[in-house]
Amino acid sequence: MADNEKPTPSNKNDNFFNKNPLLAFALFSIAVIMLFKVFVGDEGSFGSKVNGNQATRTQEVSYAELKNLIISKKVQSVEIGQTSIRALGSDEVARTAYTTRRILGEDTSLITLLDTQKIDYSGFNETNWFTEMFGWLFPFLIIIAIWMFFAGRMQKSMGGGILGMGSSKKLVNSEKPKTKFDDVAGVQEAKEEVQEIVDFLKSPGRYVELGAKIPKGVLLVGSPGTGKTLLAKAVAGEAEVPFFSVSGSSFIEMFVGVGAARVRDLFEQAKRDAPSIIFIDEIDAIGKSRAAGGMMGGNDEREQTLNQLLAEMDGFGTDTPVIILAATNRPEILDPALLRPGRFDRQVLVDKPDYQGRIDILNVHIKDVKKDSDVDLEEIARLTAGLAGADLANIINEAALLAGRKNQKTVRLADLREAVERGIAGLSKKSRRIDEKEKRIVAYHESGHALLAETTKGAKKVAKVSIVPRGLAALGYTLNTPEENKYLMQRHELIAEIDVLLGGRAAEEVFIGEISTGAANDLERTTDILKSMVQMYGMSDVAGLMVLEKQRNSFLGGGMSQAKEYSEKMSEAMDNFIKRTLDERYSIVKERLEEYRGAIEKMVELLYSKENITGEQVRAIIEVFEDENNIPTKLSSKKETAQES
């Protein structure tokens, strides 16, 4: 699913002013000045108002003219300021304000004239250069104050601020965490994998002397809230080294060049304080594959930041005890350059917890609250299939809040139950609780895959079967052991793969009696395999050795639709072949499932309670079942050893 790969248009708008701070500043200033002018307006300019009477027009006149106006009684009142005189015309229909400059020494004669004409006069305080200046400066002062306020806030969030770009003292979080491995539960394998890093950071000298190559970058892969940050902190805590953390997404909002400078500073600090750990959360935000972004997704800032990161990682040797841990839940979209040797060449899976894992995580977090003796964490673990560690921590906290609201002294089982119910509404899309019915369907579906994988010649062996959801799409999964150095697939191996893929859907039909949408992806793959067998591999009677479709060249317009190079009749024959073969294989698969009914039920039972089972467990169940029912073994592993002896 590609639901959140591209930023929505509104996101882009949010970033607009961040990217163009000067433009924002200019627009903002103009707006303030205009507002100021509207409100404070022409108050200070001469003539428009005299003695509180608004004139409709203003007219500049000479001193002599003004005198004449007074003499001819065209003036109603006069105001005398420090440098100017203004007079209000007596014509009430077209009120005119006359203004003129004062002539020193003329005052007395003017006053005498006004007195004799019995015209009202008074002095007025002119706006002088100071108030005039202030009128202009005031809006600027306001702007500067506001600007400084925002700049200060930005500085807090991105460090360095507007002027001191690049000095990243504040935005890199530096701490010496007290988190230990005991605080991270339910991810045993991941903990074992990072143990080596802890040892190295504790005594780097020993490894360096040996000439051992320590991984520089480790990618922690897993859904949100599974404890990747926590695990990274625990590595630092166990090794007692400083922990520098940044979030990949915070780079995106910055001005071009800041991100790169920040990365440089981050590495400088970490190297200065070595041995140390750098943690980059959400690395996909900067490390998104350039190809995946597409033409429109070009982002200079991201690219510069990424290049700087790559340069920094290449810039120090394996003898510098700085380890870079990065977290992502979508490793497949990362730029391949990030995953090359010497960079993030190691991946550690931080999976969602299974049943036992959830009990362990709940136990870690229940320590923070006072619990009642009736609390049964096993029940809560059963109710929370599909949730991640962060959700479980939330549930405990929510339960404590509920207990507090009810004035209880302790957290009771009922509070936890209620918190689970409440949590469901507030959970993110990415963490979905799996209900019992779904769990049952998924357990049968995956067991079907596993059984077929183990009892079909040419199929890949099972490494792990799981009904813990992974990502958004997969509710469960069956992992195969990868076969290395395998470039060729024989015909029977392709057929075996089809059988294994059909095993999921067939198990739903045979054991539940109803089919679900869960097999969509499996069915797509089976169809693809059969199509390729006809079109490319010459493995069908439809086209014989004739190739209907050239192998796609991924460099030259791969994936683009090509014109069909074969007849309608051929196309129809191919469809028939695919349909016929699928039907054939499907009934064979169903027969196999019927034959191994007891084994499937055992697997489902185990899977249902533990949520994860290993390939060995699957094989053991099948072996026992075959022995008990006197079925000649179909287990490929067992047959091989039988043949050898």
Answer yes or no whether residue 234 interacts with ligand ADP by CB under 6 A. Answer: no
Residues 482-511 as x/- pattern, contact with Zn ion by CB under 5 A: ----------------------x-------
Active-site annotation, residues: 446
Q: Are strands 322-328 and 217-221 parallel, antiparallel or unpaired?
A: parallel
C-beta closer to Zn ion: residue 312 or 522: 522
Q: CB 505 → Zn ion: shortest distance, Å? A: 7
Residue 228 binding: pick among ligand ADP, Zn ion, none (C-beta 5-8 Å cut-off by kind): ligand ADP
Task: Give the one residue of 50, 70, 78, 187 binding ligand ADP; rule: CB under 6 A.
Answer: 187
C-beta closer to Zn ion: residue 301 or 522: 522
Task: Give the one residue of 86, 191, 228, 358 binding ligand ADP; rule: CB under 6 A.
Answer: 228
C-beta closer to Zn ion: residue 229 or 526: 526
C-beta closer to Zn ion: residue 259 or 518: 518
Answer yes or no whether residue 185 interacts with ligand ADP by CB under 6 A. Answer: yes
Residue 504 binding: pick among ligand ADP, Zn ion, none (C-beta 5-8 Å cut-off by kind): Zn ion
Q: Are 346 and 215 in contact (CB under 8 A)?
A: yes
* Paired tokens of 591: 């027969």
Task: Give the one residue of 224, 257, 293, 471 binding ligand ADP; rule: CB under 6 A.
Answer: 224
- DSSP secondary structure of 477-489: EEEEPPPTT----
Residue 241 binding: pick among Zn ion, ligand ADP, none (C-beta 5-8 Å cut-off by kind): none
Q: Where are the extended beta strands (E) located within 209-350?
A: 217-221, 243-247, 276-281, 322-328, 346-349
**Whose CB is nearest to Zn ion?**
504
* Binding region for ligand ADP (CB under 6 A) out of 223-231, 309-317, 537-545, 546-554: 223-231
Answer yes or no whether residue 186 interacts with ligand ADP by CB under 6 A. Answer: yes
511 secondary structure, DSSP code? I
* Binding region for ligand ADP (CB under 6 A) out of 65-73, 182-190, 375-383, 508-516: 182-190
What residues have CB less than 8 Å from 240, skipping those under 6 apart? Answer: 176, 202
Q: How distant, in Å, are the alpha carbons of 491, 527, 534, 539, 551 from that of 545?
A: 14, 19, 9, 7, 14
Q: CB 332 → ligand ADP: shortest distance, Å? A: 17
How many residues at the interface with Zn ion, by CB under 5 A?
2
Q: CB 396 → ligand ADP: shortest distance, Å? A: 9
* Binding region for ligand ADP (CB under 6 A) out of 178-186, 462-470, 603-611, 617-625: 178-186
How many residues at the interface with ligand ADP, by CB under 6 A?
18
C-beta closer to ligand ADP: residue 226 or 304: 226
C-beta closer to ligand ADP: residue 55 or 362: 362
Residue 528 backbone dihedrals phi, psi, to 5 degrees: -60, -45
What residues have CB less than 8 Å from 232, skipping those under 6 apart? Answer: 220, 243, 245, 277, 279, 325, 327
What residues have CB less than 8 Å from 514, skipping those under 6 apart? Answer: 508
What residues have CB less than 8 Å from 147, skipping those under 6 apart? Answer: 25
* Paired tokens of 91: 């014509």
Residues 529-568 as x/- pattern, contact with Zn ion by CB under 5 A: ----------------------------------------
Neighbours of 5 (CB within 10 A): 14
* Binding region for ligand ADP (CB under 6 A) out of 191-199, 225-233, 523-531, 613-621: 225-233
85 secondary structure, DSSP code? E
Answer yes or no whether residue 438 interacts with Zn ion by CB under 5 A. Answer: no
Q: How many Cα atoms within 13 Å fall on the side-chain side of residue 59? A: 17
227 secondary structure, DSSP code? S
* Binding region for ligand ADP (CB under 6 A) out of 59-67, 227-235, 311-319, 581-589: 227-235
Residues 380-399 as x/- pattern, contact with ligand ADP by CB under 6 A: ---------xx--x------
Edge-to-edge order in the sheet of strand 322-328? 173-175, 243-247, 276-281, 322-328, 217-221, 346-349
Answer yes or no whether residue 431 interacts with ligand ADP by CB under 6 A. Answer: no
Q: CB 449 → Zn ion: shortest distance, Å? A: 6
Q: CB 467 → Zn ion: shortest distance, Å? A: 11
Q: CB 476 → Zn ion: shortest distance, Å? A: 8
Neighbours of 115 (CB within 10 A): 10
Q: CB 361 → ligand ADP: shortest distance, Å? A: 4
Residue 522 binding: pick among Zn ion, ligand ADP, none (C-beta 5-8 Å cut-off by kind): Zn ion
C-beta closer to ligand ADP: residue 70 or 280: 280
* Paired tokens of 154: 């930005």
* Binding region for ligand ADP (CB under 6 A) out of 118-126, 161-169, 228-236, 337-345: 228-236
- DSSP secondary structure of 125-194: ----HHHHHHHHHHHHHHHHHHHHHHHHHHHHHHSSTTTTTT--TTTSEEE-----GGGS-S-HHHHHHH
Q: How many angstroms separate the CA atoms of 160 and 150, rounded?
A: 13
Q: Which amino acid is at 522?
A: D
Task: Give the one residue of 77, 99, 168, 226 binding ligand ADP; rule: CB under 6 A.
Answer: 226
Find out whether the peptide bond into 177 is cis, omega within 30 degrees of 0.
Answer: no
Residue 187 binding: pick among Zn ion, ligand ADP, none (C-beta 5-8 Å cut-off by kind): ligand ADP
Q: CB 639 → ligand ADP: shortest distance, Å? A: 40
3-class secondary structure per residue, 13-79: HHHHHHHCHHHHHHHHHHHHHHHHHHHHCCCCCCCCEECCEECCEEEECCHHHHHHHHHCCCEEEEE
Helix (H), strand (E) at residue 305: helix 300-315
499-538: which residues touch ligand ADP (CB under 6 A)? none
Q: CB 611 → ligand ADP: shortest distance, Å? A: 15
Q: How many angstroms separate the CA atoms of 467 and 443, rounded?
A: 6
Calculate the CA dihedral of residues 190, 193, 194, 196 and round it to 10 degrees. 160
Q: How many angstroms separate the CA atoms of 329 and 176, rounded?
A: 25
C-beta closer to Zn ion: residue 160 or 504: 504
Q: How many Cα atoms within 13 Å fall on the side-chain side of residue 142? A: 13
Residues 336-375 as x/- pattern, contact with ligand ADP by CB under 6 A: -------------------------x--x-----------
Q: Calculate ∠ Cα 463-466-472, nearest 5°.
A: 120
Task: Give the one residue of 77, 100, 168, 229 binding ligand ADP; rule: CB under 6 A.
Answer: 229
Residues 508-527 as x/- pattern, contact with Zn ion by CB under 5 A: --------------x-----
Residue 229 binding: pick among Zn ion, ligand ADP, none (C-beta 5-8 Å cut-off by kind): ligand ADP
Binding site for Zn ion (CB under 5 A): 504, 522
Point out which residues bind ligand ADP (CB under 6 A): 184-187, 222, 224-230, 327, 361, 364, 389-390, 393
